[in-house]
Chains A and B, each alone.
Chain A
Amino acid sequence: MRYLPLSAEDRRAMLKTIGVRSIDDLFVDVPREALNAKIDLPRHRGELEVERLLGAMAAKNRPAGAGPFFVGAGAYRHHVPASVDHIIQRSEFLTSYTPYQPEIAQGTLQYLFEFQTQVAALLGMEVANASMYDGSTACAEAALMARRVTKRGRVVVSGGLHPHYAAVVRTNSELAGDTVSIRPLDVEGEEDLAAQIDANTSCVIVQNPDVFGNLRDFTPLAKSCAENGTLLIVVVTEAVSLGAVKSPGEMGADIAVGEGQSIGVPLNFGGPHVGLFATRQKYVRQMPGRLCGATVDAEGKRGFVLTLSTREQHIRRDKATSNICTNSGLCALAFTAHMTLLGEVGLRRMSLLSHEAACKAADALSSVPGVRLATPRFFNEFTLRLSANAAEIVEALASKGVLGGVPGGRLWPNDSEAEDLLIVAATECTTDADIADYAHALSEVL
């Protein structure tokens, strides 16, 4: 077995040093009838065989890069520079642990400090943490944090929030004993959320661009929230939008959370991704997750450490701000490395190129008979209303080699109003030919 260094002779010698006859003498505390249970699994295999088996499974999937691709709704295909993947495969990053021994983990700690700075700047907030699992869990944690800050028990969720995010919020907040009011589907982005706020409302959760792609300015809502002592949580699922679109901080968000996958991380069929979490300085002790801070060492040299750990489970236990331990370290590295290459200049270009591709796609697709653009003001994602069931159209498009977007029925299976909706995303990877192929295929299947 190529991964196990001990030889049979080593094992014998070591058992002798330990003073037992057989390995099972070390398992004496296991109930006898449970030890060495028969397990029906194949024997070990060489690399070549494993590659064949997994390669065959991979070959049954249609990768985004294999043809026209317009799927978004919370995960986006952007180009990642080759150097990013090389950096995250450096042994010192890939095979290290959470930086609990800072003297020999300055590499991880410094990039986390840089990550926190970049995330705070992108979201327009004062402080950011060292990442969460993904955008949806970051969103749920934000609602729990609002509960701690306001000591109130009702969460209002916009009808424009990604329904998976809304579901995760509901799961977590209801568990904590809160009520969660999820507003009805809001394709045009016209809901009046301020009217939903009452004296027990801990937070209002909104998304920009929303799940349908609408650009929405929540500045007035932020004002209403502030007047009522309610926190405004702004979610961003397309991090690349932050290069061109008004940030949560610019609108007056109290907590901003996001999915960072768009910058540096592949689609990965939905995970791992990287959750972004930022807030105001005054709430920092109510934040979940790890935080990296600057300090000095015994010789006065600058260095970094994990800090404010008394918020966390390994110290605060049942009174911790969250049970989170492992976060998304390596994806945070991919994010920060890609962001470091892009810089403000590169991100703005990537952002506007994605917007430009989406504008072209919207123009081309909405001119197909039976198609109406439902969201006129968008960034890189928009919603079409089709004259037919969108899920069936998406399947028909897939058989023509076009992955055309996310049908409303997939995200809101219990809402017949969503059946004719198709959410379409474009990025800098989208070519004019992709758009032309899509428009042509759509006119054929509708």
Chain B
Amino acid sequence: MAMNAQGRPTRADAATAPGPTFTGNRALQIEESLIFEREFGGTGVDLPEPKAKDRLGSMKRQSPLNLPGLSEPEAMRHYVRLSQKNYAIDMGPFPLGSCTMKHNPRLNEKMARLPGFADIHPLQPQSTVQGALELVHELADWLLELTGMPAVAMSPKAGAHGELCGMMAIKAALDARGETGRTRVLAPESAHGTNPATAAQCGFSVDDIPADETGRVDLSALKAKLGPDVAAIMVTNPNTCGLFERDIRAIADAVHEAGGYFYCDGANFNAIAGKVRPGDLGVDAMHINLHKTFSTPHGGGGPGSGPVVLSAALAPFAPVPYVVKEEGRYQLVETRRAAREDGENMHGGRLTAFHGQMGMFVRALSYMLSHGGDGIRQAAEDAVLNANYVLARLKSEMTPAFPGHCMHEALFDDSFLKGTGVETIDFAKGMIDEGYHPMTMYFPLVVHGAMLIEPTESESKQELDLFCDALLSIARRANAGDASLKGAPYFAPRRRLDETAAARNPVLRWTPTASVRAAE
């Protein structure tokens, strides 16, 4: 034979891993400095120098900006390297309870970028944006049909902004009735922090409603707290424990009987969309997080969109602007005066410049048109099915916070960790090393060491099985006394970060002398 000993070895040799690398990089994990830690002075955009002398006079900027400009290759590399330090839904399960991290269809992105939607100005003549107004109107119709409510305010910019809109409408309605003595708002202890914060922003005081032993509103305790000074209750349904408020009709009736309104936090509408209409449950106002239920992306914390559906009693108190259709033409009603000429008693003020999150509206309608009424219902059913499957698979090793089935999210407490030395946070950080984003931890506040798992309908059974097996293995490690969980994560771009130091000595921007240590 003709011997050929040239070429590369093809067998994998097992060798001991070396210490830290020279660069600090670890193969695909590349350390990236701040843009400010580079040479200043350049630009990555080719713009000509202006020819004419400016007419700014004494209004010219005096001080330098000291901001670097990077060439396009440098900038791309900077942001791509940064992106690789993030976990994302597109990489794996992101079971953050209450946050609804479902798949973000790319068709929605494509549609939102059509110049007819992205490149139009909010103050163009209305005759030149009829298609945009049609889209807002069409989306509003879908929301009304899905919720069974008679009116919707489209301009709120996010869920909390929607809460503000709804609570403002309630306050305005009470004022119109001359009932200014209603100053108290009731909300369960398990509520999202935005509920009490919103109520306070509207000038109401906030009073807790206790939960019963099944994790739901304690109806008799609620009734005892109702009175002539109660403006409204704010109840999330399904609630933040992942449970449907089975007394919801009785709750609504009791509040209405006492002369108050029922604000429903619709953050968990994804569990029931297409199955149950909040309008059939006695709701007066409810915001819908388009970025949760209708999958406009979360984008690392926004932008969101929070339209608010309103009952007939509150509809006259919606804010401007809103879209009406008259004789085949869409009209944007932008002022109170114009609103009154419409014969309506619009009371609400303006919540934001312009007309709301158009870019999110396009994405949400694209999602709805794609799913259809049947797909929206199926999505809700699959979300509930997936959560219950996780609950069923995990309850052998982990401790559900409440007995029975759940809706779209499964809540566990930390009693299965008792005596192990491992806490909820360690368990969560252990999930990171297994390749998962942790579940929501330490919320809701009513459950000790809470772990709230929301798989959403986007996970396949195969993905869920591996996920459950991984969580069970972490639970077993904890129970076997595996102290290594206390130091997790080990394989992430960073180990646990010192939040105490960050808060005691806040460094909130780069400065040439800031005590920000460079990556080692």
Contacts and interface: CB of A to CB of B under 8 A. Distances in A.
Interface string B266-278: 0000001011110
Interface string B56-97: 111111111111111010011011101111111111001010
B493 A343 contact: no
Given A30-B244, A64-B121, A272-B303, A305 B499 contact: yes
Interface stretch (A44-52, A149-157, A220-228): A44-52
Nearest to A131: B302
Interface in A384-437: 394-395, 398, 403, 406, 410-411, 413-414, 428
A376 to B, nearest CB: 9
B311 interface: no
Rank and list the top 4 A-B pairs by shortest CB-CB distance, nearest first.
A343-B69, A58-B116, A270-B354, A60-B131
A269 B495 contact: no
Interface residues of B, number: 213
Interface in B484-520: 487, 489, 492-499, 501-503, 506-510, 514, 516-520
A11 to B, nearest CB: 6
A356 interface: yes
B458 interface: yes
Interface string B89-116: 1110010100101011101011101111
A239 interface: no
Contacts of A199: none
Interface stretch (A170-178, A190-198, A366-374, A438-446): A170-178
A301 B25 CA distance: 12
Interface string A29-46: 111011111011111110
B50 A355 contact: yes
Contact of B349 (A66, A167, A245, A395): A167
Given A60-B116, A267-B121, A343-B40, 5 more contacts: A26-B385, A37-B280, A50-B366, A270-B353, A317-B196
A182 interface: no
B378 interface: yes
A355 B87 contact: no
Contact of A137 (B40, B43, B157, B366): B157
Interface string B355-390: 111111010011011111111111101101110110
A81 B70 CA distance: 13
A329 B113 CA distance: 18
Interface centre among A30, A136, A394 (most CB of B within 10 A): A30
B87 A176 contact: no
Interface in A131-145: 131, 133-137, 144
Contacts of B34: 110, 113-114
A445 to B, nearest CB: 13
Contacts of A10: 460-461
Interface size class of A (residues with CB under 8 A): 35 or more
Interface stretch (B217-225, B292-300, B415-423, B471-479): B292-300
Contact of B489 (A20, A77, A103, A266): A103
A98 B301 contact: yes
Contacts of B41: 343-345
B468 to A, nearest CB: 10
B79 A313 contact: no
Interface string A227-261: 00000000000000011111100100000000100
Given A269-B121, A305-B502, A352-B50, A58 B115 contact: yes
B351 interface: yes
A45 B497 contact: no
Contacts of B393: 17
A167 B79 contact: no
Interface string B123-137: 111011111101100
A107 interface: yes
A77 B497 contact: no
Interface string A75-119: 101000101011111111111111101111111101101101110
A321 B41 CA distance: 38
Interface in B185-233: 192-194, 196-203, 205-206
Contacts of A31: 246, 248-249, 280-281
B89 to A, nearest CB: 4
Contacts of B414: none
Contacts of B160: 313, 323-326
A303 B296 CA distance: 29
A350 interface: yes
B130 A60 contact: yes
B121 A403 contact: yes
A355 B55 contact: yes
B345 interface: no
14 contacts: A17-B389, A34-B276, A36-B276, A37-B280, A96-B87, A103-B495, A105-B87, A122-B65, A134-B352, A136-B354, A244-B54, A269-B121, A314-B192, A410-B334
A1 B371 contact: yes
A39 B305 CA distance: 23
Contact of B42 (A91, A316, A343, A395): A343
B48 A353 contact: yes
Contacts of B57: 377
Nearest to B117: A58
A414 B334 CA distance: 12
A3 B520 CA distance: 43
Contact of B99 (A97, A315, A398): A97
Interface string A308-332: 1000111111111011111111111
Given A34-B277, A71-B123, A413-B337, A343 B68 contact: yes
Interface in A326-357: 326-333, 337, 339-347, 349-350, 352-353, 355-356
A302 B203 contact: no
A20 B437 CA distance: 29
Given A293-B507, A314-B193, A342-B45, A45 B370 contact: yes
A74 to B, nearest CB: 6
B168 interface: yes
Given A41-B372, A62-B124, A77-B119, A350 B66 contact: no
Nearest to A329: B301
B300 A39 contact: no
Nearest to B514: A294
Nearest to A119: B509
B422 to A, nearest CB: 17
B284 to A, nearest CB: 16
A30 B125 CA distance: 46
Contacts of A111: 79, 82
Interface string B423-457: 00000110010000110000100000000000001
A134 B61 contact: no
Contacts of B132: 57, 60-61, 269
